[in-house]
Chain A
Protein backbone atom coordinates (compact mmCIF):
# COMPACT_ATOMS: atom_id res chain seq x y z
CA UNK A 1 0.00 0.00 0.00
CA UNK A 2 1.14 3.45 -0.76
CA UNK A 3 2.44 4.83 2.55
CA UNK A 4 0.67 8.08 1.76
CA UNK A 5 -2.65 6.43 1.09
CA UNK A 6 -3.94 6.92 4.60
CA UNK A 7 -3.14 10.61 4.40
CA UNK A 8 -5.29 11.14 1.31
CA UNK A 9 -8.40 11.07 3.45
CA UNK A 10 -6.65 13.31 5.96
CA UNK A 11 -6.21 15.91 3.25
CA UNK A 12 -9.97 16.08 2.78
CA UNK A 13 -10.48 16.13 6.53
CA UNK A 14 -7.94 18.90 6.81
CA UNK A 15 -9.83 20.93 4.23
CA UNK A 16 -12.96 20.49 6.35
CA UNK A 17 -11.07 21.54 9.49
CA UNK A 18 -11.98 18.17 10.88
CA UNK A 19 -8.47 17.24 11.96
CA UNK A 20 -7.69 18.10 15.53
CA UNK A 21 -5.21 17.27 18.25
CA UNK A 22 -2.91 14.39 17.60
CA UNK A 23 -4.36 13.73 14.15
CA UNK A 24 -3.61 17.27 13.09
CA UNK A 25 -0.10 17.13 14.49
CA UNK A 26 0.59 13.85 12.71
CA UNK A 27 -0.75 15.21 9.47
CA UNK A 28 1.35 18.34 9.65
CA UNK A 29 4.40 16.30 10.50
CA UNK A 30 3.76 14.10 7.50
CA UNK A 31 3.33 17.11 5.25
CA UNK A 32 6.69 18.48 6.29
CA UNK A 33 8.38 15.30 5.14
CA UNK A 34 6.26 14.33 2.16
CA UNK A 35 6.46 16.55 -0.92
CA UNK A 36 3.77 14.50 -2.66
CA UNK A 37 1.14 15.01 0.00
CA UNK A 38 2.12 18.63 0.40
CA UNK A 39 1.72 19.15 -3.32
CA UNK A 40 -1.58 17.32 -3.21
CA UNK A 41 -2.85 19.63 -0.48
CA UNK A 42 -1.74 22.67 -2.40
CA UNK A 43 -3.58 21.40 -5.47
CA UNK A 44 -6.74 20.94 -3.43
CA UNK A 45 -6.39 24.42 -1.98
CA UNK A 46 -5.85 25.87 -5.43
CA UNK A 47 -8.99 24.16 -6.68
CA UNK A 48 -11.01 25.39 -3.71
CA UNK A 49 -9.74 28.93 -4.24
CA UNK A 50 -10.71 28.84 -7.89
CA UNK A 51 -14.17 27.44 -7.19
CA UNK A 52 -14.88 29.86 -4.39
CA UNK A 53 -13.66 32.77 -6.44
CA UNK A 54 -16.23 31.85 -9.06
CA UNK A 55 -19.14 32.27 -6.70
CA UNK A 56 -22.00 32.67 -7.07
CA UNK A 57 -22.27 29.70 -9.37
CA UNK A 58 -25.82 30.61 -10.35
CA UNK A 59 -27.30 33.77 -8.89
CA UNK A 60 -31.05 33.68 -8.55
CA UNK A 61 -32.88 35.58 -11.29
CA UNK A 62 -34.22 38.96 -10.25
CA UNK A 63 -37.85 38.03 -10.66
CA UNK A 64 -37.68 34.82 -8.70
CA UNK A 65 -37.86 36.38 -5.26
CA UNK A 66 -41.01 38.25 -6.12
CA UNK A 67 -42.49 35.18 -7.69
CA UNK A 68 -41.70 33.10 -4.64
CA UNK A 69 -43.10 35.70 -2.29
CA UNK A 70 -46.30 35.85 -4.31
CA UNK A 71 -46.54 32.09 -4.43
CA UNK A 72 -45.92 31.87 -0.72
CA UNK A 73 -48.89 34.12 -0.15
CA UNK A 74 -51.09 31.88 -2.22
CA UNK A 75 -50.67 33.47 -5.59
CA UNK A 76 -48.76 32.20 -8.52
CA UNK A 77 -49.79 34.95 -10.86
CA UNK A 78 -46.69 37.08 -10.49
CA UNK A 79 -44.41 35.06 -12.68
CA UNK A 80 -43.59 37.90 -15.03
CA UNK A 81 -45.54 40.93 -13.89
CA UNK A 82 -44.78 44.46 -14.84
CA UNK A 83 -43.12 46.44 -12.06
CA UNK A 84 -46.14 48.55 -11.16
CA UNK A 85 -48.42 45.57 -11.37
CA UNK A 86 -46.04 43.69 -9.17
CA UNK A 87 -46.24 46.42 -6.58
CA UNK A 88 -50.02 46.34 -6.68
CA UNK A 89 -49.93 42.58 -6.47
CA UNK A 90 -47.85 42.79 -3.34
CA UNK A 91 -50.31 45.12 -1.69
CA UNK A 92 -53.21 42.99 -2.74
CA UNK A 93 -51.51 39.89 -1.46
CA UNK A 94 -50.82 41.45 1.87
CA UNK A 95 -54.26 42.94 2.29
CA UNK A 96 -56.44 40.11 1.08
CA UNK A 97 -54.71 36.83 1.49
CA UNK A 98 -51.99 36.80 4.07
CA UNK A 99 -54.26 36.24 7.00
CA UNK A 100 -56.19 33.55 5.17
CA UNK A 101 -53.09 31.75 4.01
CA UNK A 102 -51.44 32.07 7.38
CA UNK A 103 -54.38 30.59 9.15
CA UNK A 104 -54.67 27.84 6.58
CA UNK A 105 -50.99 27.04 6.76
CA UNK A 106 -50.48 27.25 10.48
CA UNK A 107 -53.89 27.04 12.00
CA UNK A 108 -53.14 29.75 14.48
CA UNK A 109 -55.85 32.32 14.63
CA UNK A 110 -53.65 34.68 16.55
CA UNK A 111 -51.04 34.88 13.86
CA UNK A 112 -51.04 38.47 12.76
CA UNK A 113 -50.67 39.79 9.28
CA UNK A 114 -47.73 41.86 10.39
CA UNK A 115 -45.71 38.94 11.60
CA UNK A 116 -46.35 36.74 8.63
CA UNK A 117 -45.70 39.59 6.23
CA UNK A 118 -42.18 39.90 7.62
CA UNK A 119 -41.27 36.79 5.69
CA UNK A 120 -42.47 38.32 2.50
CA UNK A 121 -41.06 41.75 3.19
CA UNK A 122 -37.55 40.40 3.35
CA UNK A 123 -37.97 38.60 0.06
CA UNK A 124 -39.70 41.48 -1.63
CA UNK A 125 -37.38 44.22 -0.47
CA UNK A 126 -35.96 45.84 -3.59
CA UNK A 127 -32.25 46.43 -3.86
CA UNK A 128 -32.55 50.19 -3.40
CA UNK A 129 -34.48 49.76 -0.20
CA UNK A 130 -31.98 47.24 1.08
CA UNK A 131 -29.12 49.64 0.38
CA UNK A 132 -30.94 52.45 2.16
CA UNK A 133 -31.54 50.22 5.18
CA UNK A 134 -27.93 49.11 5.08
CA UNK A 135 -26.65 52.68 5.04
CA UNK A 136 -28.83 53.53 8.02
CA UNK A 137 -27.19 50.70 9.91
CA UNK A 138 -23.71 51.76 8.85
CA UNK A 139 -24.33 55.36 9.91
CA UNK A 140 -25.70 54.19 13.24
CA UNK A 141 -22.63 52.03 13.71
CA UNK A 142 -20.33 54.99 13.04
CA UNK A 143 -22.31 57.35 15.26
CA UNK A 144 -22.33 54.75 18.01
CA UNK A 145 -18.61 54.18 17.69
CA UNK A 146 -17.92 57.90 17.78
CA UNK A 147 -20.05 58.34 20.88
CA UNK A 148 -18.31 55.41 22.50
CA UNK A 149 -14.89 56.92 21.79
CA UNK A 150 -16.04 60.27 23.19
CA UNK A 151 -17.24 58.67 26.37
CA UNK A 152 -20.88 59.46 25.66
CA UNK A 153 -21.89 55.82 25.67
CA UNK A 154 -20.60 54.31 28.90
CA UNK A 155 -20.46 50.54 28.89
CA UNK A 156 -23.19 48.86 30.89
CA UNK A 157 -21.15 45.73 31.35
CA UNK A 158 -17.39 45.86 31.70
CA UNK A 159 -15.61 42.58 31.38
CA UNK A 160 -13.06 40.84 29.24
CA UNK A 161 -14.88 37.57 29.76
CA UNK A 162 -16.95 36.56 26.71
CA UNK A 163 -19.03 34.36 28.96
CA UNK A 164 -19.94 37.19 31.33
CA UNK A 165 -20.72 39.63 28.54
CA UNK A 166 -22.78 37.03 26.69
CA UNK A 167 -24.74 36.30 29.85
CA UNK A 168 -25.37 39.98 30.41
CA UNK A 169 -26.98 40.36 26.99
CA UNK A 170 -29.15 37.28 27.43
CA UNK A 171 -32.78 38.28 27.55
CA UNK A 172 -32.06 41.93 26.85
CA UNK A 173 -32.33 41.62 23.09
CA UNK A 174 -34.86 39.84 20.91
CA UNK A 175 -32.09 37.77 19.38
CA UNK A 176 -29.50 35.52 20.94
CA UNK A 177 -25.81 35.44 20.33
CA UNK A 178 -22.72 34.09 21.95
CA UNK A 179 -19.35 35.72 21.94
CA UNK A 180 -16.35 33.62 21.00
CA UNK A 181 -14.67 32.12 24.02
CA UNK A 182 -11.09 32.04 22.85
CA UNK A 183 -9.69 34.58 20.48
CA UNK A 184 -7.07 33.51 17.97
CA UNK A 185 -3.59 34.75 18.53
CA UNK A 186 -0.81 36.18 16.49
CA UNK A 187 2.44 34.62 17.59
CA UNK A 188 0.93 33.76 20.92
CA UNK A 189 -0.43 37.21 21.66
CA UNK A 190 -4.17 37.94 21.66
CA UNK A 191 -5.04 40.17 18.74
CA UNK A 192 -7.76 41.93 20.64
CA UNK A 193 -9.33 42.14 24.05
CA UNK A 194 -13.01 42.22 24.85
CA UNK A 195 -13.84 45.22 27.02
CA UNK A 196 -17.60 45.02 27.47
CA UNK A 197 -20.87 46.03 25.95
CA UNK A 198 -24.15 47.87 26.23
CA UNK A 199 -27.53 48.12 24.64
CA UNK A 200 -28.14 50.61 21.88
CA UNK A 201 -31.44 51.71 20.46
CA UNK A 202 -31.81 51.19 16.73
CA UNK A 203 -35.12 52.01 15.11
CA UNK A 204 -37.00 51.17 18.24
CA UNK A 205 -35.14 47.92 18.87
CA UNK A 206 -32.52 47.14 21.45
CA UNK A 207 -29.41 45.90 19.73
CA UNK A 208 -26.03 44.98 21.14
CA UNK A 209 -22.87 47.06 21.16
CA UNK A 210 -19.83 44.93 21.94
CA UNK A 211 -16.52 46.66 22.39
CA UNK A 212 -12.99 45.43 21.89
CA UNK A 213 -9.61 46.98 21.92
CA UNK A 214 -6.22 46.17 20.55
CA UNK A 215 -2.96 47.72 21.59
CA UNK A 216 -3.57 50.68 19.34
CA UNK A 217 -7.26 51.12 18.78
CA UNK A 218 -10.78 50.61 20.01
CA UNK A 219 -13.21 48.57 17.99
CA UNK A 220 -16.94 48.42 18.30
CA UNK A 221 -19.30 45.83 16.99
CA UNK A 222 -23.01 46.26 16.55
CA UNK A 223 -25.08 43.11 16.53
CA UNK A 224 -28.69 43.13 15.42
CA UNK A 225 -31.21 40.72 14.07
CA UNK A 226 -31.03 40.57 10.29
CA UNK A 227 -34.70 41.46 10.14
CA UNK A 228 -33.86 44.72 11.89
CA UNK A 229 -30.67 45.55 10.03
CA UNK A 230 -29.28 44.51 6.69
CA UNK A 231 -25.83 44.58 5.16
CA UNK A 232 -25.63 45.77 1.58
CA UNK A 233 -23.80 48.13 -0.75
CA UNK A 234 -20.30 49.44 -0.34
CA UNK A 235 -17.30 47.58 -1.58
CA UNK A 236 -18.01 43.92 -1.38
CA UNK A 237 -15.65 41.12 -0.54
CA UNK A 238 -16.82 37.55 -0.60
CA UNK A 239 -15.00 35.32 1.77
CA UNK A 240 -15.80 32.15 3.59
CA UNK A 241 -19.27 31.99 2.11
CA UNK A 242 -20.16 35.44 3.36
CA UNK A 243 -20.26 38.82 1.71
CA UNK A 244 -18.53 41.59 3.62
CA UNK A 245 -19.57 45.14 2.83
CA UNK A 246 -16.95 47.81 3.34
CA UNK A 247 -17.84 51.43 3.89
CA UNK A 248 -15.43 54.22 4.60
CA UNK A 249 -16.48 57.39 6.36
CA UNK A 250 -13.70 59.76 7.23
CA UNK A 251 -11.33 57.95 9.51
CA UNK A 252 -13.78 55.18 10.22
CA UNK A 253 -13.83 51.88 8.46
CA UNK A 254 -17.05 49.89 8.68
CA UNK A 255 -17.40 46.26 7.72
CA UNK A 256 -20.88 44.82 7.80
CA UNK A 257 -22.15 41.36 7.05
CA UNK A 258 -24.99 39.00 7.78
CA UNK A 259 -24.61 35.49 9.03
CA UNK A 260 -27.01 33.08 10.64
CA UNK A 261 -29.76 35.58 11.15
CA UNK A 262 -27.61 38.32 12.65
CA UNK A 263 -26.26 41.44 11.00
CA UNK A 264 -22.95 42.79 12.25
CA UNK A 265 -21.24 46.12 11.79
CA UNK A 266 -17.62 46.34 12.84
CA UNK A 267 -16.23 49.85 13.19
CA UNK A 268 -12.62 50.70 13.64
CA UNK A 269 -10.27 53.55 12.91
CA UNK A 270 -7.73 51.88 10.77
CA UNK A 271 -5.05 54.39 10.05
CA UNK A 272 -2.70 54.44 7.12
CA UNK A 273 -3.60 54.23 3.49
CA UNK A 274 -1.43 51.20 2.92
CA UNK A 275 -3.50 49.11 5.25
CA UNK A 276 -6.66 50.22 3.58
CA UNK A 277 -5.32 49.64 0.13
CA UNK A 278 -4.35 46.12 1.02
CA UNK A 279 -7.86 45.29 2.01
CA UNK A 280 -9.49 46.98 -0.90
CA UNK A 281 -7.03 46.31 -3.68
CA UNK A 282 -5.82 42.86 -2.89
CA UNK A 283 -9.00 40.99 -2.44
CA UNK A 284 -7.65 38.13 -4.45
CA UNK A 285 -5.13 37.75 -1.69
CA UNK A 286 -7.87 37.99 0.88
CA UNK A 287 -9.71 35.22 -0.87
CA UNK A 288 -6.68 33.02 -0.95
CA UNK A 289 -6.04 33.77 2.66
CA UNK A 290 -9.42 32.46 3.64
CA UNK A 291 -9.95 29.23 1.80
CA UNK A 292 -12.33 27.88 4.38
CA UNK A 293 -14.96 29.25 6.62
CA UNK A 294 -12.96 28.75 9.76
CA UNK A 295 -9.57 29.96 8.78
CA UNK A 296 -7.56 32.94 9.58
CA UNK A 297 -4.68 33.49 7.31
CA UNK A 298 -1.18 34.72 7.14
CA UNK A 299 -0.26 35.12 3.56
CA UNK A 300 3.27 35.07 2.42
CA UNK A 301 3.74 32.06 0.23
CA UNK A 302 2.73 28.46 0.03
CA UNK A 303 -0.13 26.91 1.89
CA UNK A 304 1.40 26.23 5.26
CA UNK A 305 0.46 29.61 6.59
CA UNK A 306 -3.09 28.80 7.46
CA UNK A 307 -3.98 28.61 11.06
CA UNK A 308 -7.26 26.96 11.79
CA UNK A 309 -9.38 28.16 14.60
CA UNK A 310 -12.85 27.30 15.84
CA UNK A 311 -15.79 28.52 13.77
CA UNK A 312 -16.56 31.24 16.24
CA UNK A 313 -13.75 33.66 16.21
CA UNK A 314 -12.26 36.99 15.42
CA UNK A 315 -10.40 37.25 12.17
CA UNK A 316 -7.36 39.39 11.92
CA UNK A 317 -5.72 38.87 8.62
CA UNK A 318 -2.25 39.93 7.76
CA UNK A 319 -1.69 40.67 4.14
CA UNK A 320 1.67 40.73 2.57
CA UNK A 321 1.65 42.10 -0.89
CA UNK A 322 4.59 42.98 -3.07
CA UNK A 323 5.17 46.38 -1.55
CA UNK A 324 4.45 46.08 2.10
CA UNK A 325 3.16 44.03 4.96
CA UNK A 326 0.31 45.18 7.07
CA UNK A 327 -2.23 43.88 9.46
CA UNK A 328 -5.90 44.45 8.84
CA UNK A 329 -8.80 43.61 11.02
CA UNK A 330 -11.00 41.95 8.50
CA UNK A 331 -14.03 41.02 10.51
CA UNK A 332 -15.48 39.36 13.48
CA UNK A 333 -16.38 36.37 11.44
CA UNK A 334 -19.07 34.73 13.46
CA UNK A 335 -19.74 36.14 16.82
CA UNK A 336 -22.70 34.02 17.56
CA UNK A 337 -25.72 32.36 16.19
CA UNK A 338 -29.21 33.61 16.14
CA UNK A 339 -31.58 31.05 17.49
CA UNK A 340 -34.30 29.70 15.29
Chain B
Protein backbone atom coordinates (compact mmCIF):
# COMPACT_ATOMS: atom_id res chain seq x y z
CA UNK B 1 0.00 0.00 0.00
CA UNK B 2 1.40 3.35 -0.93
CA UNK B 3 2.15 5.89 1.71
CA UNK B 4 -0.19 8.75 0.93
CA UNK B 5 0.04 11.69 3.28
CA UNK B 6 -3.64 12.63 3.40
CA UNK B 7 -3.32 16.10 4.73
CA UNK B 8 -0.48 17.30 2.57
CA UNK B 9 -1.58 19.02 -0.55
CA UNK B 10 0.70 18.17 -3.39
CA UNK B 11 1.06 20.30 -6.41
CA UNK B 12 2.75 18.53 -9.25
CA UNK B 13 3.81 21.79 -10.79
CA UNK B 14 5.50 23.23 -7.79
CA UNK B 15 8.25 21.02 -6.46
CA UNK B 16 10.37 22.76 -3.90
CA UNK B 17 13.30 23.42 -6.14
CA UNK B 18 11.47 25.45 -8.73
CA UNK B 19 11.13 29.20 -8.71
CA UNK B 20 8.52 31.04 -10.76
CA UNK B 21 10.93 33.89 -11.32
CA UNK B 22 13.35 31.71 -13.24
CA UNK B 23 14.49 33.35 -16.41
CA UNK B 24 13.45 31.56 -19.53
CA UNK B 25 16.07 30.76 -22.17
CA UNK B 26 16.30 28.86 -25.40
CA UNK B 27 19.12 26.81 -23.92
CA UNK B 28 16.80 25.68 -21.19
CA UNK B 29 14.24 24.57 -23.75
CA UNK B 30 16.90 22.67 -25.66
CA UNK B 31 18.23 20.98 -22.58
CA UNK B 32 14.77 20.17 -21.38
CA UNK B 33 13.82 18.58 -24.67
CA UNK B 34 16.94 16.44 -24.55
CA UNK B 35 16.24 15.40 -20.97
CA UNK B 36 12.66 14.53 -21.79
CA UNK B 37 13.78 12.37 -24.67
CA UNK B 38 16.50 10.75 -22.61
CA UNK B 39 14.14 9.76 -19.80
CA UNK B 40 11.05 9.03 -21.84
CA UNK B 41 11.33 5.26 -21.52
CA UNK B 42 12.12 5.60 -17.83
CA UNK B 43 9.03 7.71 -17.25
CA UNK B 44 6.88 5.16 -19.01
CA UNK B 45 8.38 2.31 -16.99
CA UNK B 46 7.74 4.23 -13.78
CA UNK B 47 4.16 4.86 -14.86
CA UNK B 48 3.75 1.17 -15.63
CA UNK B 49 5.16 0.17 -12.28
CA UNK B 50 2.81 2.52 -10.47
CA UNK B 51 -0.34 1.87 -12.44
CA UNK B 52 0.25 -1.61 -13.87
CA UNK B 53 -1.98 -0.55 -16.70
CA UNK B 54 -0.73 0.37 -20.13
CA UNK B 55 -3.43 2.89 -20.92
CA UNK B 56 -3.10 4.60 -17.59
CA UNK B 57 0.67 4.62 -17.95
CA UNK B 58 0.49 6.32 -21.33
CA UNK B 59 -1.90 8.91 -19.96
CA UNK B 60 0.40 9.52 -17.01
CA UNK B 61 3.41 10.08 -19.24
CA UNK B 62 1.47 12.36 -21.51
CA UNK B 63 0.18 14.45 -18.65
CA UNK B 64 3.64 14.56 -17.11
CA UNK B 65 5.22 15.86 -20.28
CA UNK B 66 2.56 18.49 -20.81
CA UNK B 67 2.78 19.77 -17.26
CA UNK B 68 6.55 19.72 -17.30
CA UNK B 69 6.63 21.79 -20.45
CA UNK B 70 4.24 24.27 -18.91
CA UNK B 71 6.43 24.52 -15.84
CA UNK B 72 9.80 24.62 -17.53
CA UNK B 73 10.22 28.32 -16.89
CA UNK B 74 10.47 27.66 -13.18
CA UNK B 75 13.34 25.21 -13.38
CA UNK B 76 16.52 26.33 -11.71
CA UNK B 77 19.75 25.90 -13.65
CA UNK B 78 21.02 23.28 -11.24
CA UNK B 79 17.78 21.34 -11.03
CA UNK B 80 17.84 17.59 -11.31
CA UNK B 81 15.55 17.36 -14.30
CA UNK B 82 15.21 13.61 -14.13
CA UNK B 83 14.02 13.67 -10.54
CA UNK B 84 11.78 16.60 -11.35
CA UNK B 85 10.07 14.72 -14.17
CA UNK B 86 9.61 11.61 -12.06
CA UNK B 87 8.22 13.71 -9.23
CA UNK B 88 5.67 15.30 -11.51
CA UNK B 89 4.58 11.89 -12.74
CA UNK B 90 4.27 10.52 -9.24
CA UNK B 91 2.29 13.51 -8.02
CA UNK B 92 -0.14 13.22 -10.91
CA UNK B 93 -0.57 9.56 -10.09
CA UNK B 94 -1.13 10.31 -6.40
CA UNK B 95 -3.69 12.98 -7.23
CA UNK B 96 -5.50 10.55 -9.49
CA UNK B 97 -5.52 7.99 -6.70
CA UNK B 98 -7.03 10.49 -4.32
CA UNK B 99 -9.73 11.31 -6.79
CA UNK B 100 -10.62 7.64 -6.98
CA UNK B 101 -10.37 7.16 -3.28
CA UNK B 102 -13.30 5.39 -1.75
CA UNK B 103 -14.39 5.72 1.85
CA UNK B 104 -11.54 3.78 3.37
CA UNK B 105 -9.40 2.02 0.84
CA UNK B 106 -7.41 2.61 -2.26
CA UNK B 107 -7.25 -0.06 -4.87
CA UNK B 108 -3.62 -0.17 -5.88
CA UNK B 109 -3.30 -3.69 -7.02
CA UNK B 110 -6.11 -3.89 -9.54
CA UNK B 111 -4.29 -3.28 -12.74
CA UNK B 112 -4.76 -5.25 -15.85
CA UNK B 113 -4.00 -8.84 -16.51
CA UNK B 114 -0.48 -10.12 -16.86
CA UNK B 115 -1.09 -10.38 -20.57
CA UNK B 116 -1.60 -6.64 -20.66
CA UNK B 117 1.84 -6.21 -19.17
CA UNK B 118 3.56 -8.54 -21.56
CA UNK B 119 5.30 -6.36 -24.09
CA UNK B 120 8.24 -7.16 -26.26
CA UNK B 121 11.28 -5.30 -25.06
CA UNK B 122 14.13 -6.62 -27.12
CA UNK B 123 15.59 -4.03 -29.43
CA UNK B 124 18.74 -5.68 -30.65
CA UNK B 125 21.00 -8.66 -30.24
CA UNK B 126 23.24 -6.90 -27.80
CA UNK B 127 20.44 -6.24 -25.38
CA UNK B 128 19.85 -9.92 -24.98
CA UNK B 129 21.69 -10.15 -21.71
CA UNK B 130 18.96 -12.33 -20.38
CA UNK B 131 16.59 -14.38 -22.39
CA UNK B 132 13.11 -13.15 -23.04
CA UNK B 133 11.83 -15.78 -20.65
CA UNK B 134 14.06 -14.52 -17.90
CA UNK B 135 13.06 -10.96 -18.60
CA UNK B 136 9.42 -11.90 -18.35
CA UNK B 137 10.09 -13.69 -15.09
CA UNK B 138 11.81 -10.66 -13.67
CA UNK B 139 8.92 -8.47 -14.75
CA UNK B 140 6.38 -10.87 -13.32
CA UNK B 141 8.24 -11.04 -10.01
CA UNK B 142 8.38 -7.27 -9.75
CA UNK B 143 4.68 -7.04 -10.43
CA UNK B 144 4.04 -9.28 -7.44
CA UNK B 145 5.60 -6.75 -5.12
CA UNK B 146 3.66 -4.03 -3.36
CA UNK B 147 3.50 -0.73 -5.17
CA UNK B 148 5.99 0.91 -2.82
CA UNK B 149 8.41 -1.95 -3.34
CA UNK B 150 7.94 -1.83 -7.08
CA UNK B 151 8.70 1.83 -7.25
CA UNK B 152 11.85 1.74 -5.13
CA UNK B 153 13.14 -1.17 -7.20
CA UNK B 154 12.38 0.72 -10.40
CA UNK B 155 13.89 3.98 -9.21
CA UNK B 156 17.01 2.37 -7.76
CA UNK B 157 17.82 -0.59 -9.99
CA UNK B 158 16.46 0.57 -13.32
CA UNK B 159 16.73 4.34 -13.11
CA UNK B 160 19.71 4.29 -10.77
CA UNK B 161 18.62 7.20 -8.66
CA UNK B 162 20.54 7.50 -5.41
CA UNK B 163 18.81 6.81 -2.11
CA UNK B 164 18.81 10.52 -1.43
CA UNK B 165 17.23 11.32 -4.78
CA UNK B 166 14.60 8.66 -4.18
CA UNK B 167 13.93 10.04 -0.71
CA UNK B 168 13.31 13.50 -2.15
CA UNK B 169 11.11 12.07 -4.86
CA UNK B 170 9.06 9.99 -2.43
CA UNK B 171 9.10 12.72 0.20
CA UNK B 172 10.32 10.44 2.94
CA UNK B 173 13.54 9.94 4.92
CA UNK B 174 16.49 8.20 3.30
CA UNK B 175 16.29 5.53 5.97
CA UNK B 176 12.77 4.72 4.90
CA UNK B 177 13.93 4.33 1.33
CA UNK B 178 16.65 1.94 2.44
CA UNK B 179 14.32 -0.16 4.56
CA UNK B 180 11.78 -0.34 1.75
CA UNK B 181 14.49 -1.27 -0.68
CA UNK B 182 15.84 -3.91 1.67
CA UNK B 183 12.42 -5.50 1.98
CA UNK B 184 11.80 -5.25 -1.74
CA UNK B 185 15.12 -6.85 -2.62
CA UNK B 186 14.61 -9.66 -0.14
CA UNK B 187 11.14 -10.38 -1.48
CA UNK B 188 12.36 -10.18 -5.04
CA UNK B 189 15.22 -12.59 -4.36
CA UNK B 190 12.75 -15.02 -2.86
CA UNK B 191 10.52 -14.79 -5.92
CA UNK B 192 13.33 -15.04 -8.42
CA UNK B 193 15.19 -17.82 -6.63
CA UNK B 194 12.31 -20.10 -7.49
CA UNK B 195 12.85 -19.71 -11.20
CA UNK B 196 16.17 -18.03 -11.88
CA UNK B 197 19.71 -18.45 -10.70
CA UNK B 198 19.44 -15.85 -8.01
CA UNK B 199 20.31 -16.73 -4.45
CA UNK B 200 17.28 -16.48 -2.20
CA UNK B 201 17.16 -14.40 0.96
CA UNK B 202 19.36 -15.65 3.71
CA UNK B 203 17.80 -17.41 6.61
CA UNK B 204 19.11 -14.92 9.12
CA UNK B 205 19.23 -11.21 8.71
CA UNK B 206 16.79 -11.13 5.85
CA UNK B 207 14.68 -8.05 5.99
CA UNK B 208 11.47 -9.85 5.34
Q: Which A positions have Cβ atoms within 8 angstroms of B? A: 2, 4-5, 8-9, 12-13, 16, 18, 36, 39-40, 42-44, 46-48, 50-61, 64-65, 67-68, 71-72, 105-106, 108, 111, 115-116, 118-123, 174-175, 225-227, 235-238, 240-241, 258-261, 283-284, 287, 292-293, 338-340
Contact = CB atoms under 8 A, between A and B. Distances in A.
Contacts of A65: 40
B192 A47 contact: yes
B176 interface: no
Interface string B63-77: 001100110110101
Contact of B32 (A121, A174, A340): A340
A118 B31 CA distance: 10
Contacts of B123: 59, 236
Interface in B27-77: 27-38, 40-45, 48-49, 54, 57-58, 61-62, 65-66, 69-70, 72-73, 75, 77
Question: How extensive is the interface on chain B, given as a class?
Answer: 35 or more
Contact of B126 (A57, A121, A283): A283
Contacts, number: 206
Contacts of A261: 31, 34-35, 38, 81
Contacts of B32: 119, 340
The 8 closest A-B pairs by CB, nearest first: A53-B129, A60-B44, A226-B34, A119-B33, A227-B30, A58-B48, A340-B31, A241-B160
Contacts of A116: 29
B33 A123 contact: yes
Given A53-B129, A287-B129, A16 B44 contact: no
A12 B207 CA distance: 12
Interface of B: 24, 26-38, 40-45, 48-49, 54, 57-58, 61-62, 65-66, 69-70, 72-73, 75, 77-79, 81, 117, 119, 121, 123-124, 126-127, 129-130, 134-135, 138-139, 142, 153-154, 156-160, 162-163, 178, 181-182, 185, 188-189, 192, 196, 198-199, 202, 204-205, 207
